Structure 1
C-alpha cells in the first residue's frame, strides 16, 4: 500500500507539473478546454439555439449570461488523479490503457453534464450556481474518479491468477 501511495504521489507530481508548463498549456490544455466549450455549446444547441461558444466561453445570446471553462473546470485535473492511480496500481499495461481511456471518457461525460447544468443554473440563480460549482460538482467529479477507479479494480485479475498465469 505504501508503494502504491508513493508511486501515486510521484506520478501526480510529475503530471501536474507538466500540465502547468507553458508548452503543455499551449499545445494541449487550452485547445482541449476550448474543445470542451465547443462540445458543450453544441450539446446545448440541440435544445437551445441561442447559445454560442468562443474560446473557453459559453454564452447565452438572449440573456448575455456566460460561463468560462477555466483550469480545474475542464476535467484535466480529475483525469490526472485517475491516471496516477491506475499507473500506480500493479496491473497489465493493456488493462491500464483500457482503464485510462474509459475513465477519461467517463470523467469528461460527467464534466459535460456539469458544465451544462451550471450554465443553466447560473442563469436561474447566482447563489445556487456558486454553491453547486464550488461544492456539489467538485465532489461529484472526484467521486466519479473514485467510482471509475474502483470499478476498474474489480476487472483486474487477482494476484493469484497473475502468479499462476506467469
Structure 2
C-alpha cells in the first residue's frame, strides 16, 4: 500500500507537469482539445433535449441575463488525471491498465458533459442556483464518480485474478495426477494386494515360449 501512494504521487507530479502548466507543459494543447470536445458535447445535449438557451462558442446565454462560460477548468481533465494516476500506480498488468484508462476516459467525458448540462438546466430557472450546483453538487458528483470507477477497476482486477488462479489450478490438476500416478503402485502396496505376482504371471503369458531346435 505504501508503494502505491509513492507511485501515485510521483505519477501525479509528472502528469501535472506534462498537461497543466501552460508556459512549460509540452502536452498543454490537450487541454484545448478536451475543452473543444466538452463544448461540442454540451451543444449536442442542448440541441437534443431542446433546452431553451442560446449557445455561441463557449458561452451559454440564459433568458434572465446570466451567462455560463465553458473554460479549461470545466473539461473534466483534472478528474481524469486523478483517475489515470491511480490506475497507473495500481499493481496489475499494463493490459488491464490501458483498457481501464480508455474506458474511464469515455465514462468521465460523458459524466462531465451531463454535469455541465445539469448545471445549465438548474441555473436556467434561477441564477442563484449556479454556485451551489456547480461548486458543490457538480464537483462532489465528479469526485464520487472517479472514486467509484477506481473501486470498480480494483474489483475487476481481483475477480480476474481469482478466476485465473482457479483456472490454472484446474488445468494443472490432471498433470499432478499423472505425475504422481507411480505413487499408487509402490512395491509394498503391490505385494499386499498380490499385484506383483499377477504382473509376473501376465508378463510370462505375453512372452512367446522359446522352442529348442534339436
TM-score by length of 1: 0.85
Aligned pair count reads 161
Which structure is larger by alpha-carbon Rg, 1 or 2? 2
Gaps spanning 5+ residues in structure 1: where?
none
What's 2:192 paired with?
none
**Aligned residues of 1:41 and 1:58 also touching (Cα < 8 A):** no
1:50 & 1:132 partners in 2: Cα distance? 18
1:11 & 1:30 partners in 2: Cα distance? 22
Q: Does 1:24 align with 2:31?
A: no
**Aligned residues of 2:62 and 2:124 also touching (Cα < 8 A):** no
2:102 & 2:137 partners in 1: Cα distance? 25
1:50 & 1:144 partners in 2: Cα distance? 27
What's 2:13 paired with?
13
Q: What secondary structure does 2:124 align onto?
A: helix
What's 2:121 paired with?
120
For residues 50-129 of structure 1, the aligned pairs below 5 Å read 51-54=54-57, 57-60=58-61, 65-129=66-130
The alpha carbon displacement at 1:130 in A equals 0.6
Instruction: Give the CA RMSD over aligned residues.
Output: 2.3
Kindly provide the CA deviation profile for residues 77-127 of structure 1, in whole angstroms up to 9, marking residues without a partner as x. Answer: 000001000000011111101111111111111101111011122221222
What's 1:33 paired with?
35
**Aligned residues of 1:78 and 1:142 also touching (Cα < 8 A):** yes
Q: What secondary structure does 2:105 align onto?
A: helix
2:66 & 2:126 partners in 1: Cα distance? 11
**Aligned residues of 1:37 and 1:58 also touching (Cα < 8 A):** no
What's 2:152 paired with?
151
TM-score by length of 2: 0.68
Q: What secondary structure does 1:124 align onto?
A: coil
Q: What secondary structure does 1:72 align onto?
A: helix
Q: Does 1:2 align with 2:2?
A: yes
The alpha carbon displacement at 1:64 in A equals 5.3
Mean alpha-carbon deviation: is it higher for 131-140 or for 58-67? 58-67
2:19 & 2:69 partners in 1: Cα distance? 19
